[in-house]
Structure 1
Amino acid sequence: MEMPSDVPRYVIALGSNRPGRHGRPGAELAAALGAIGGVRAASRVVTSAPIGPSIRRFANQVAMIESEERPLDLLARLKAIEAAFGRRPGQRWGSRVIDLDILLWSKGVWADRRLTVPHVAFRDRRFVLDPLRMIAPDWRDPVTGLTIRQLHYRACAVDRMPRPS
Structure 2
Amino acid sequence: MPKVYLLLGGNLGDRNSYLSQARDRIAAQVGPIVRSSALYETAAWGNTDQPAFLNQVVEVWAEHTPEYILFLINQIEQELGRVRQEHWGARVIDIDILFYDDLAFQTPRLTIPHPRLHLRRFTLLPLAEIAPEMTHPVLGKSIVTLLENCPDELEVRPFTPVT
Normalising by structure 1, report the TM-score.
Answer: 0.86
Alignment check: 8 A CA contact 2:9 2:94 kept: yes
Partner residue of 1:50 out of 44, 47, 52 = 44
Superposition pairs of residues 135-146 of structure 1, within 5 angstroms: 135-146=130-141
Look at both structures and tell me which one has the larger radius of gyration over its CA atoms. 1
Cα deviation, residue 53, structure 1: 4.8
Asked if residue 73 in structure 1 is aligned to residue 73 in structure 2, the reply is: no
Alignment check: 8 A CA contact 1:129 1:152 kept: yes
Gaps of 5+ in 2: 154-163
Q: Counterpart of 1:85? A: 80
Gaps of 5+ in 1: 1-6, 160-165
Alignment check: 8 A CA contact 1:54 1:93 kept: no
Structure with larger RCO (C-alpha < 8 A, sep 6+)? 2
Q: How much identity, in percent, do the aligned residues show?
A: 32
Cα deviation, residue 124, structure 1: 0.6
Moved over 6 A (4+): none
Letter in 1 for 2:18: E
Q: Secondary structure at the match of 2:128?
A: helix
Alignment check: 8 A CA contact 1:16 1:25 kept: yes
Partners of 1:54 and 1:68 lie apart in 2 by 38
